Structure 1
Amino acid sequence: MSDGFSGFPPELLQFLSDLARNNDRDWFDANRDRYEEHLVGPAMAYITAMQKPLARLAPALTARPTRVGGSLMRIHRDVRFSKDKSPYKTNVGIQFRHLDGKDVHAPGFYLHIEPDQAFFGVGIWHPDGETLRAIRTAIAERPADWKKAKTAKAFRSRYQLAGDSLKRAPKDFDPDHPQIEDLKRKDFIAIQELDPATLTAPGFVAESTDALKSARPFMRFLCEATGVAY
């Protein structure tokens, strides 16, 4: 393919399924070649192939095909505060995060891959208090702009708003505001579910590019609300 990426290999989903049944270091070390060939290599190729679409459609988002600190999220789980001590994640996470962001809580475009589930995600997941208040304030003060962003035809045809919400109106916001259900949100993300078979298709970069393009009104509102470029 001209973009250098012809889809994720079917063996990736098999590797993740096997890892879920054998989530220990001995098994992983014995299957490290599969990890490199079927997960890391294709993920790096996908990230590289997405650099041009991102530069054209969302230049503030970065595609970094590096093993440390890049767009491919680490496979090792942080088990310090978890009862589940399984050492490895059993999914692939790829995040094209904002230039101004340092972690997964930055504005971004996300690809999630599991054997029985895949999706694109856009927006800001678990924003800190200052960022969350800035988004809520923008919605409260510019409700028409927010409604236009979340109901844009291309966006609505692909994405569903998702994430956690408060049960009551947040402090200092009118509980009778016409956008109160969105003001209650603690996450400002939207999800497009994918058929895992789509991942192996030669046109997956084009599918990703279309999804990225469709998210522009939503992402632009969030970035403007938080004072960063998009």
Structure 2
Amino acid sequence: MSPHHEIHRTHRIGWLRAAVLGANDGIVSTASLIVGIAASHATHNDIVLAGVAGLVAGAMSMAAGEYVSVSSQADTEQADLKRERKELEEDGHHEQKELAAIYVSRGLDPLLAEQVAVQLMEHDALGAHARDELGISEAGTARPIQAALTSAVTFAVGAVLPLLIVLFAPDTDLIVLVSSASLLFLTLLGILAAYTGGSGIIKGAFRVAFWGALAMGLTAAVGSVFGTVV
């Protein structure tokens, strides 16, 4: 009989979070910028220029922000692992008792917990403490470069979608077409993210579309007011 293979989604958390965040921001920020500029009665060239500038600036901002954020997380993880490694070298017996106490708190019998702690530490002491004491696992390990590149690329992809609408849409219907198409893109993105992550599809699609609609509505109002004033 072949071994049973279970499918889990936790290994997707890192790249999925960065990809969804990047694409969502690319669509929302670029579409909102385009709608806001269009509502101020700017020329078609100005609208395109604003959209392209928003794409480049947004992609770089997402990459830098993700890299700094995830690098800080990685630094914290490495500092914790370094401290744990030192504690294992200085007092391995105490660390073994500490690990056994964790297993007891999770429901194991004290004797069994002690045996599990001993065997796991013989196999990989630092790995056992990283996983069960510090909560650091291979699936959730911080990867700054991966997060930065994923965010930048997915932001750019998301931003290109409303830009393509601008290039082919007539000026008279630009706001309506960009808004409706962007909401459609956001809804599909929410469905894809929910399906990939194994969560509710309707809920995922609604929350992405709602915040996108709110962002575009507010920027359109701002553009209309300032365009009228100027």
TM-score when normalising by structure 1 = 0.23
**Which structure's residues are more often strand, by fraction?**
1
**Which structure's residues are more often helix, by fraction?**
2
Q: Which structure is higher in RCO with an 8 Å CA cutoff and minimum separation 6?
A: 2
TM-score when normalising by structure 2 = 0.23
